Amino acid sequence: MKFIKMHGTGNDYIYMDCFKEKVEHPEVLAVKLSNRHKGIGSDGLVLIQPSDFCDFKMRMFNADGSEAQMCGNASRCVGKYVYDSGLTTKTSLTLETKAGIKRLQLYTQGGKVMSVKVDMGEPEVQSVNHRVNFSPEEFAITCISMGNPHAVLFMSSIDDLLLSDIGKRIEYHPMFPERTNVEFIEILSPEEARMRVWERGSGETQACGTGACAALVAGVINGLLDRKAVIHLLGGDLEVEWSREDNRVYLTGDAVRVFEGEWVDEN
């Protein structure tokens, strides 16, 4: 089974071209492939599929096999793959996801996609600066849905956080029956912020596109960020804008092809 490894801002996934490959039990395959010692190694598995009403369809599975609604970084890589591989000549695409239809604007150079702008849709503000006891600490969180759930926390410094502890406790807190992604944000200026992310089902990752969008929205609501800002993540930078005109959030970042190969399951 042939695959391609790609990353958006360090958020790495294994991509399967389902125009060519038949993938059965993707929730099981995601766990095998994502293992960084016994598999290929990734934050999860992404299936690129035909769609009945969009240019393409994306399904994605976290490293633990759970299916996610949406990933901004993965959607950019899907855009790069379908264009660079000749599946389309269009630079403006629609993408079917479990979080609805996303629109991609591809920016090319030398016949290859270098970056992608994604219309991430309108955010849903669920709670603002709500204090919750996560035992033993209490944190103020702002909850935003970008088609998937996010809990955003603002802190003076994010360098020394033990995300494997605090991130997991928040992800599995009873107030999130379907679990949640968690963003830890350090404000640098109204136009810049640093972010570390604990992704539901994958743990700490290099970046999270929907998380960066949720962070900007939460920052604007709490009076900490402008409506357009750069979010610095472990894997690089993402540009995020929450438009006044249409209330939609736009995410721009890179899409990088790493390598391709063939998976042979001997187990």
pLDDT tens digit sequence for 41-91: 999 999 999 999 999 999 999 999 999 999 999 999 999 999 999 999 999
Cα 6 → chain centroid: 13
Q: Please give the share of the chain, as a percent, with pLDDT higher than 70.
A: 100
The CA distance from 219 to 31, in Å, is 34
Examine the pLDDT at 266 and tell me if it is beyond 80. Answer: no
pTM, entire model? 0.93
pLDDT at 265 (0 to 100): 78
pLDDT at 267 (0 to 100): 66
pLDDT at 157 (0 to 100): 96
pLDDT tens digit sequence for 158-185: 999 999 999 999 999 999 999 999 999 9
Q: Please give the share of the chain, as a percent, with pLDDT higher than 90.
A: 96
pLDDT at 136 (0 to 100): 86
Question: Does a cis peptide bond (omega within 30 degrees of 0) precede residue 174?
Answer: no
Segment 218-224 mean pLDDT: 98
pLDDT at 240 (0 to 100): 98
Torsion of CA 37, 40, 45, 47, to 10 degrees: -160
Average pLDDT along the chain: 96
pLDDT tens digit sequence for 27-40: 999 999 999 999 99
- Catalytic residue set: 71, 208
| Contacts of residue 146, Cβ cutoff 8 Å, sequence gap at least 6 | 70, 72, 99, 120, 121, 123, 124, 210, 213, 214, 217, 249
